[in-house]
């Protein structure tokens, strides 16, 4: 910022300042004739940036912040945008920002908005203008380099920026046309000026193997290299570790213990032991890698792990939270090796009710590593395996107890949405070669139930001891959202009078489980629920119907679990755990943010890979499910491949369609044909734009566009954002093994 700008801002901020015109301020500052153009330009820039306000009488003053709202900005490809106020969930509460009123804000920025127009018609959004950018979502972006008229430009991936970003003379940093590059923004584009950036890294030629993954890593600013001091700390811990040193630990090496993980797993952070006495009482041991032994608070390892927040599981690689000497070796519960653990030892009666619980720093030796497929085969056919009878009996006990716990969990009102996930299959070069449904058989459910039991037991214990810790919360849904879901369910002929009752919701889910409308019901309920998050507050977990819940079972890959371990082990040592509430609030927000960043990066890379695959299949037909309905079209997810695309309303050539918002349906005016949320339809691939992440679909039975001009999307949207069902990932269910997609 120029010296003139600083002086003007200081002047208008003075308590006794009386509004002056530009010329009056110039005379006050004694700006000479030669300098006046620079002075005027500096002041005009402040006005455009919203740091100064120009009144009708031409005087300058501090902007009036009354009637302002702070929220997150999202810009559309058309230039206009919307601001979602903090803590707002309703689309009608989001603020429409015309293209000329967004200043240089980009998607994800936190902004201050001045409301300029209140809607007079129901369903429209209030209108406003951005007057200040409080915080940038990112200063780093990824795009494709090209040259034009003797200058270098980058077309940023996605729809964040409508125009290319100028990056200087041709060949900057050795970039060649078609290269994918990372750039740092020097000047954000606005309606008044073009954007400018500098290339920070050349990622490789567009389409080259691995470049798509690296592009996503850079675009989401995910740290993928450990600093030397972090690696040195990890190596030091490796030198100190001795398997035979078990002083101060409960020795459980002689207890029959197993792990059950994906076939591709390389780090194992949980193991199970289980016995039953002659009276029918169960003794369940959930043994979790004692990561806190190696990662000491305040150490280089700890600072790095906290900064990363979580491991990131991309389709073709994993970016671990901890160096591999820990995550894949010392802290990993490998079969046949003595490993340090923190054990949750639960006693349960025949009905699966916990009658006693204790916790200990322990040492175990895993007797057998099972893959999910191997464990499932033994559970289904215990008479046929080649394993020893003790292992077969153990798996049988595990299945029996897990099903008892599962039944109890549903009896208290837990919800489970049945939407099988699709996993993509990759070739040697990271390209998509196929897809398959992810399994959720009994072997997965066994581990899920035991992890849930351990997480709940630890959270309850820490609560009773008044220890501050990061809880895993799933807030209560907005009653209005549940009422909307009830209306939707009734439109399908379902009986639902009390949507606030978990048991009513359970009944509706069960009644539709094997019916054609199952997808519509499950998607409809999912979009009525909120996202799970980390918090120190005892908010409870709605989907699990649990008052006290935390993440304890995956400290190798989640920092919140490590924080919980530290509080638990401090109590086990007879000490009072340190807990500063304000620090926990900040840590919770950070961990929630890094978790969602990791999930978004995974989804984005999957989308890039799928679009690359589908680009070669233009015109081919696929089955799809409608996951979002708007007045301008239908958002669909392909069944064979988990890619989302849009059927624009102009592609529905047989009729003119209108939105029946109460039932999430597009209805043909003449034919009465209905496209409803959750419906299955057949579509064809019409167009793919990988860089903009766009997939255009058309119904397979549509041969030609109807006569007349195409129906255009209005310049001012009546709704704030596409109503699409959130992905079913970890928002409503807490799976102990959910994130373990170890494809290294």
pLDDT digits (tens, 9 = 90+) for 172-220: 788 999 999 999 988 888 777 788 999 999 999 998 999 999 999 999 9
Mean confidence (pLDDT) of the chain: 87
pLDDT band at 89 (very low <50, low <70, confident <90, very high): low
Predicted confidence (pLDDT) per residue in 469-522, tens digit: 999 999 999 998 899 899 888 888 888 989 999 999 999 998 888 777 787 788
CATH topology of domain 140-206: OB fold (Dihydrolipoamide Acetyltransferase, E2P) (2.40.50)
Cβ within 8 Å of residue 414, ≥6 positions away: 502, 543, 544, 545, 546
Domain 618-699: give its CATH code. Answer: 2.40.50.140
What's the average model confidence in pLDDT over 372-380?
92
Is the model more confident about 3 or about 61? 61
DSSP codes joined into one string, 471-512: EEEBPPPPHHHHHHHHHHHHHTT---S-TT-HHHHHHHHHHT
Is the model more confident about 129 or about 358? 358
CB neighbour class for 517 (10 Å; exposed up to 12, middle 13-18, buried from 19): middle
Q: Check residue 55 and give its pLDDT.
A: 84
What's the average model confidence in pLDDT over 35-60?
84
DSSP codes joined into one string, 572-640: HTTPPPP--HHHHHHHHHHHHHHHHHHHHHHHHHHHHHHHHHHGGGTT-EEEEEEEEEETTEEEEEESS
Residue 222 sits at φ, ψ, to 5 deg, of: -90, 120
What is the architecture of the domain spanning 68-135? Beta Barrel (2.40)
What's the average model confidence in pLDDT over 250-261?
97
Rounded CA-CA distance 120/123 in Å is 9
Shortest CA distance to 90 belongs to which of 589, 479, 497? Answer: 479
- Judged against a pLDDT cut of 80, whether residue 421 lies above it is answered with no
Task: Classify each residue of 593-625 as buried b or exposed e, where b means 16 or more C-beta atoms within 10 Å of its C-beta.
Answer: ebbebbbebbebbbbbbbbbbbeeeeeeebebb
Predicted confidence (pLDDT) per residue in 683-718, tens digit: 999 999 999 899 999 999 865 444 333 334 333 333
What's the average model confidence in pLDDT over 353-380?
95
- Kindly report the pTM of this predicted structure: 0.83
Is the model more confident about 455 or about 186? 455
Q: SS3 for 154?
A: strand
Asked, colleague to colleague, whether 3-61 and 140-206 share their fold, the answer is no
- Domain spans, the chain: 3-61, 68-135, 140-206, 228-474+533-604, 479-526, 618-699
What's the average model confidence in pLDDT over 334-342?
96
Q: Check residue 91 and give its pLDDT.
A: 64
Q: Check residue 74 and give its pLDDT.
A: 87
For the chain, what percent of residues have pLDDT higher than 70?
Answer: 92
Rounded CA-CA distance 655/88 in Å is 36
pLDDT band at 62 (very low <50, low <70, confident <90, very high): confident
How many C-beta atoms lie closer than 10 Å to residue 187's C-beta? 13
Domain 3-61: give its CATH code. Answer: 1.10.10
Is the model more confident about 62 or about 65? 62
Rounded CA-CA distance 267/329 in Å is 7
- Judged against a pLDDT cut of 90, whether residue 459 lies above it is answered with yes
- Judged against a pLDDT cut of 90, whether residue 429 lies above it is answered with no
Q: Check residue 703 and give its pLDDT.
A: 53
Q: Which of 206-210, 663-667, 728-732 has the lowest mean pLDDT?
A: 728-732
Rounded CA-CA distance 285/341 in Å is 11
How many C-beta atoms lie closer than 10 Å to residue 107's C-beta? 16
Rounded CA-CA distance 506/528 in Å is 14
Is the model more confident about 725 or about 634? 634
* Rounded to 5°, angle at Cα 148 from 142 and 152: 40
Q: SS3 for 122?
A: coil
Q: Check residue 706 and give its pLDDT.
A: 40
Is the model more confident about 423 or about 311? 311
Q: Check residue 105 and give its pLDDT.
A: 86
- Judged against a pLDDT cut of 60, whether residue 566 lies above it is answered with yes
Which segments of 412-558 does DSSP mark as H helices, in order? 442-464, 479-491, 502-511, 518-526
């Amino acid at each position: 910022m120029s010296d003139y700008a600083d002086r003007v801002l200081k002047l208008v901020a003075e308590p006794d300042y009386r509004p002056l015109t530009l010329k009056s301020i110039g005379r006050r500052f004694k700006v000479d004739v030669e300098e006046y153009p620079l002075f005027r330009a500096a002041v005009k820039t402040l006005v455009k940036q919203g740091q100064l306000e120009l009144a009708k009488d031409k005087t300058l003053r501090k902007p009036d912040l009354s009637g302002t709202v702070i929220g997150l900005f999202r810009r559309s490809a058309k230039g206009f945008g919307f601001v979602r106020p903090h803590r707002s969930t309703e689309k009608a509460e989001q603020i429409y920002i015309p293209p000329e009123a967004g200043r240089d804000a980009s998607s994800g920025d936190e902004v201050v908005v001045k409301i300029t127009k209140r809607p007079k018609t129901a369903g429209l959004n209030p209108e406003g203008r951005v007057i200040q950018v409080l915080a940038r979502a990112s200063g780093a972006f990824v795009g494709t380099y090209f040259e034009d008229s003797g200058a270098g430009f980058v077309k940023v991936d996605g729809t964040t920026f409508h125009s290319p970003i100028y990056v200087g003379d041709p060949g900057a940093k050795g970039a060649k046309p078609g290269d994918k590059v990372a750039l740092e923004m020097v000047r954000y584009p606005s309606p008044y000026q073009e954007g400018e950036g500098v290339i920070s890294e050349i990622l490789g030629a567009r389409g080259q193997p691995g470049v798509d993954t690296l592009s996503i890593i850079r675009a989401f600013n995910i740290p993928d290299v450990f600093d030397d001091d972090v690696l040195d700390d990890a190596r030091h811990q490796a030198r100190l570790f001795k398997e035979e040193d078990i002083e101060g630990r409960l020795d459980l090496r002689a207890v029959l213990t197993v792990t059950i993980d994906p076939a591709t797993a390389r780090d194992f952070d949980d193991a199970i032991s289980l016995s039953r006495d002659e009276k029918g009482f169960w003794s369940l041991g959930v043994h979790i890698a004692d990561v806190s032994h190696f990662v000491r608070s305040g150490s280089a390892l700890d600072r790095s792990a906290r900064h990363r927040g979580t491991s990131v599981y991309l389709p073709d690689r994993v970016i671990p939270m901890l160096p591999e000497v820990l995550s894949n070796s010392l802290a990993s519960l490998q079969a046949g090796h003595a490993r340090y653990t923190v054990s949750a030892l639960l006693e349960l009666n025949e009905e699966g009710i916990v009658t006693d619980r204790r916790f200990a720093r322990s040492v175990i030796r895993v007797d057998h590593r099972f893959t999910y497929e191997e464990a499932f085969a033994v559970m289904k056919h215990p008479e046929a395996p080649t394993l020893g009878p003790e292992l077969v009996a153990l798996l049988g006990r595990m299945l029996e107890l897990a099903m008892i716990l599962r039944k109890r969990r549903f009896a208290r009102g837990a919800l489970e949405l049945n939407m099988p996930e699709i996993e993509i299959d990759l070739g040697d070069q990271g390209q998509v070669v196929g897809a398959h449904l992810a399994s959720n058989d009994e072997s997965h459910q066994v581990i899920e139930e035991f992890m849930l039991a351990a997480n709940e037991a630890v959270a309850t214990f820490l609560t009773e001891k008044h220890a501050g810790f990061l809880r895993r919360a799933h807030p209560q849904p907005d009653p209005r959202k549940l009422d909307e879901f009830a209306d939707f369910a009734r439109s399908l002929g379902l009986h639902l009078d009390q949507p606030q009752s978990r048991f009513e919701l359970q009944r509706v889910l069960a009644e539709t489980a094997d019916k054609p409308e199952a997808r519509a019901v499950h998607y409809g309920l999912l979009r009525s629920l909120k996202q799970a998050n980390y918090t120190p507050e005892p908010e409870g977990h709605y989907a699990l119907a649990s008052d006290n819940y935390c993440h304890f079972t995956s400290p190798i890959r989640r920092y919140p679990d490590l924080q919980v371990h530290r509080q638990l082990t401090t109590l086990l040592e007879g000490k009072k755990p340190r807990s500063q509430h304000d620090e926990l609030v900040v840590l919770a927000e950070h961990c929630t943010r890094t978790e969602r960043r990791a999930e978004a990066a995974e989804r984005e890379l999957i989308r890039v890979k799928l679009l690359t695959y589908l680009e070669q299949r233009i015109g081919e037909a696929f089955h799809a499910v409608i996951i979002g309905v708007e007045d301008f079209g239908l958002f669909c997810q392909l069944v064979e491949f988990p890619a989302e695309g849009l059927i624009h309303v102009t592609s529905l050539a047989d009729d003119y369609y209108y939105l029946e918002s109460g039932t999430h349906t597009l209805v043909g005016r003449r034919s009465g044909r209905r496209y409803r949320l959750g419906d299955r339809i057949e579509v064809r691939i019409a167009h793919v734009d990988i860089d903009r992440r766009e997939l255009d679909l058309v119904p397979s039975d549509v041969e030609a566009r109807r006569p007349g001009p195409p129906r255009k999307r209005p310049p001012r949207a009546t709704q704030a954002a596409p109503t699409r069902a959130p992905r079913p990932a970890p928002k409503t269910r807490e799976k102990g093994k959910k994130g373990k997609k170890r494809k290294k």
